[in-house]
Structures are given as C-alpha cells and as structure tokens.
Amino acid sequence: MNIRILSVILAAGIMIIGCSSSNGNDQTSEGKTPTANTSSDTEKGKVIQMNKAMFIEKVFNYEENPNTWVYKGDKPCIIDFYADWCGPCKKIAPIMVELADEYQDDIVIYKVDTDKEKELAQVFGIRSIPSILFCPVEGQPQMTMGALPKAEFDKMVQTILLNNSTETSK
C-alpha cells in the first residue's frame, strides 16, 4: 500500500516539475505574450508550421539532391526545430514571432516539430533542440543551437540572411 502511495506522489511530482518549466513569463519587450502562429505560408509576419512535404516544396528537396544544397525559396528563411515539451524552445518561440513580424518583408520563419517530423530532424542531424537553421537564398545554410537572446538572432538575420555587415536591426 505504501509503495502505491509513494508511486502516485512521485508521478505527480514529476508531472508538476515538467509542467512548471514554462512559467508563463515569455513576454516581448512590449509586455505582450506572443504565440507561435501556425499560419499558411502566404501570411506575412507569422511563424509557419512546416511538415516534410512543405519543406521539400519550399526549402530543399533532399530526396532529389541529397548531396547538394539547392534552396528553393525566393526569400531567406529561418527554420526553428523544436518540440512542444522543450522549455528552451518555448522561450524562443516569442522571439521567432517578433522576428517574423519585424522582418516580414525580408525573410520567412518556419518551425518544425521534431517529434512529428522525425525524418527532417534526422536529415539535419538534430540531436539538441532548439536548433535553428538559417537558410540564405544563395550559399550554404548555417545551424545554431540553444535558446539565444533576441539580439543574437537579429545579428544572425542581418549577417547570414540579409548580408548586412553592420549589426543594425530593424
């Protein structure tokens, strides 16, 4: 009997700890709490949920060209590889929403759920999340890992995607 009670208490404790990793304080500088939108790919200023078919159509057909990167988009993009259960992923989600809004005329921001899109995660060797892939229109993509501050993402957008050597941000 005591083992059952202890097991229930332990399970409840684990659930509470897991759920508390996101404390609801993910706010923008304006104090708003943006959400990562799952939008169609025609909406400007939104983070777009991406699956394998969309990735192959809009970004890179790794089935046709497994050894040669050929970007298919007309604007540079950011791809946020994330999972719903990941605390650091939840922390950068509002940053991605802000970037999508600020750079809506210049770049596209996608997000890929690594739990649902295991093949895409495997193709890019995603072992740690969040992993962020920066895809310029010309040249090779660059990957970064971890929950970085917005200023770092701004700098990478400017230097990697928009080819601006200065660190000005919009």
**Residue 123, domain member (yes or no):** yes
Strands (E), 39-76: 47-49
Whether the Cβ atoms of residue 81 and residue 131 lie closer than 8 Å to each other: yes
Q: Kindly state the DSSP code that residue 169 receives in the 8-state scheme.
A: -
Q: Could you tell me if 135 and 70 are in contact, meaning their C-beta atoms sit under 8 angstroms apart? A: no
CATH number of the domain that residue 28 is part of: 3.40.30.10
User: Lowest-pLDDT range, 41-45, 65-69, 104-108, 128-132?
Assistant: 41-45
Quote the CA–CA distance of 42 and 12 in Å, as a whole number: 43
Q: Give the pLDDT band of residue 21 (cuts 50, 70, 90).
A: very low
Q: For residue 168, is it within any domain? A: no
| Nearest alpha carbon to residue 113 among 73, 79, 78, 66 | 79
Q: What percent of the chain has pLDDT over 90?
A: 67
Task: Give the chain's domain count.
Answer: 1
pLDDT over 60 (residue 19) = no
Residue 64 forms part of a structural domain: yes
Please report whether residue 146 resides in a domain.
Answer: yes
Residue 77 a catalytic site member: no
Residue 100 lies in a domain: yes
- Residue 74 lies in domain: 2-161
Rounded to whole angstroms, how far apart are CA atoms 133 and 124? 9
In a domain, 67, yes or no: yes
Q: What is the pLDDT of residue 43?
A: 63
Q: Which of 19, 77, 89, 135 is catalytic?
A: 89
Residue from 19, 77, 86, 135 carrying the catalytic annotation: 86
- The answer to whether residue 44 is domain-embedded is yes
Residue 135 annotated to the active site: no
Is the pLDDT score of 108 beyond 80?
yes
Q: Specify if 7 maps to a domain.
A: yes
